[in-house]
Chain A
């Protein structure tokens, strides 16, 4: 069953301006984790603001569980929790109060809201700052509060805009694990807007890559990976302390693939899958494991999908402009 059915969605803010969203059509299925990826200014935020009923489309339709939310978005907050960038609206409110009161607004009883707030604060390690105004917290802690605000009430759809921004690695992992757990145990549908493509790959099941207001690629992560360069990436990092650092050309010749110099002494070589075993053997034979500080083998990632299927175009154009 489709949670969202988006058809021919177009948003033009000013007459004559380029569309922020241009004829977008896609579905988001119930119980999936859908990633919305794209460079800055691609139109992701405009799309999300239309999905939660904050912006009216210029053309097209959006149905949420079959209801036309372009005509009336009144029902959206009953089933969609939206995490925006910062909780400035409740900046002066104590952490525990903000979470519990948000639960109350979503229909929880007083005791249940307080208990759920305590539970979420415990999960995110926010108990020591429970009686502190949100504005006095660090950026990472504020981000965790916004997550708690989105999670309280257990709504069936979560739309999260950059949920791991400003978080340390431990909390980033916690957030991804929590989203997976919500998705598996409660069947929560998650729409994830993020730049953190490598980390998001852990959780995203289906992805839409948006750029210049249009969907450049849409599909399951595995399907999209099959559409990009299938060469395997060998990453080699040499250190001068371990001996002479070979030049890029020699590394490429030895491995038998296209070489990219990522930094001084740090190379990526793209080799065909059929050649992988021989390429690894040649590299180890020529340079020996002792000269290599780091050595990795990587199949195409979601980041490759993002960069090769349209997500990187905007940046490339900006660089060349």
Chain B
């Protein structure tokens, strides 16, 4: 089949080009991203400082739960709404008519969200610890946990983004998810304090494992293997499902 004569671009060259295009969205709205990164989680930290002063156990939950909340705010929302709006406006046609694969496109969306989320998560961790006067131990496994948490959240974001009927629909689903993560799962409070039924449902959410792994990593550096395995599985399965469900040209 005739082509332009130019050699086919390598997989990395294509992904990098799409990634750079997507990065432009951060350049346009970075100040709102920074506000989103910091203001909401820090607000929660200050609120809990006032509400449960002097409870160091609860403070650790709030510090690590804050990071998870930040990841949900940044990663899930960014990926889900960006993809859903792009689908609604047929924006993805632009990429689908270029030699770009579904996986390259989705991983470009995820990489941009990760780039925005990982530094924010680490800053949040330190800032909330400062507000709540918690001493952190920076265990070497922490970056891995943050990255896996971002990927598993991104997987959820992509799932919402490729299945929502519109950008508005994606926002509504995200709001429900946010409610579940904040108040109905052991992210900001210990699992034992939740009703039994919520303890079961929480076991299915990656945020539960992300929060647990983070608590272990910043306090004792204890057992995180199960959390890492679950987060890896969540990231792999959700991203695979999302990529396969994305409407695309018929490859």
Identify the A interface with B (CB < 8 A): 49, 52-54, 56, 64-67, 69-82, 84, 87-90, 92-94, 97-98, 101-102, 104-108, 112, 133, 149, 153-156
Contacts and interface: CB of A to CB of B under 8 A. Distances in A.
Given A80-B97, A90-B21, A93-B21, 10 more contacts: A66-B1, A74-B249, A74-B251, A75-B1, A89-B93, A92-B25, A101-B18, A107-B9, A108-B6, A154-B4
Contact of A54 (B4, B21, B96, B100): B96
Contacts of B4: 78-79, 106-107, 153-156
Interface string B82-100: 0000100111111111111
Contacts of B250: 53, 56, 69-73
Nearest to A80: B97
Interface in B233-251: 249-251
A250 B9 CA distance: 69
A84 B86 CA distance: 14
B98 A105 contact: yes
Contact of B251 (A67, A73, A93, A155): A73
27 contacts: A53-B250, A54-B93, A64-B1, A65-B2, A77-B99, A77-B100, A77-B249, A82-B97, A87-B94, A89-B91, A89-B93, A90-B94, A101-B18, A105-B9, A105-B13, A105-B17, A105-B99, A105-B100, A106-B4, A106-B9, A107-B6, A107-B8, A133-B24, A133-B28, A153-B4, A154-B4, A155-B3
B1 A79 contact: yes
Interface residues of B, number: 35
B20 interface: yes
A46 to B, nearest CB: 13
B14 interface: yes
A107 B91 CA distance: 22
Instruction: Name, among B20, B100, B249, the residue most crowded by chain A CB atoms within 10 Å (CB to CB).
Output: B249
Nearest to A87: B94
B240 to A, nearest CB: 19
A186 to B, nearest CB: 10
A281 to B, nearest CB: 55
A75 B101 CA distance: 11
B195 interface: no
Nearest to A72: B251
A101 B94 CA distance: 13
Contact of A104 (B13, B92, B97): B13
A77 B97 contact: yes
B5 interface: yes
B135 to A, nearest CB: 41
Contacts of A69: 250
Contacts of B6: 106-108, 112, 153-154
A84 B250 CA distance: 18
B21 A101 contact: yes
Contacts of A71: 250
Contacts of A49: 93
A72 B250 CA distance: 6
**What are the 9 closest A-B residue pairs judged by CB atoms, nearest first?**
A107-B6, A89-B94, A89-B91, A92-B24, A53-B249, A74-B251, A93-B24, A82-B97, A101-B17
Interface in B124-144: none
A107 B21 CA distance: 16
B7 interface: yes
Contacts of B98: 77, 102, 105-106
A89 B86 contact: yes
A106 B249 contact: no
B97 A52 contact: yes
A67 B97 CA distance: 17
Contacts of A154: 4-6
A93 B89 CA distance: 17
A64 B97 CA distance: 14
Given A54-B93, A73-B250, A153-B6, A65 B99 contact: no
B3 A78 contact: yes
Contacts of B21: 89-90, 93, 97-98, 101
A160 B4 CA distance: 17
A174 B236 CA distance: 49
Which of A65, A90, A102, A154 has the most B CB atoms < 10 Å from its CB?
A90
A156 B3 contact: yes
Contacts of B226: none
B27 interface: yes
B90 to A, nearest CB: 7
Contacts of A149: 94
Interface in B62-102: 86, 89-100
Contacts of B18: 101, 105
Contacts of A98: 21
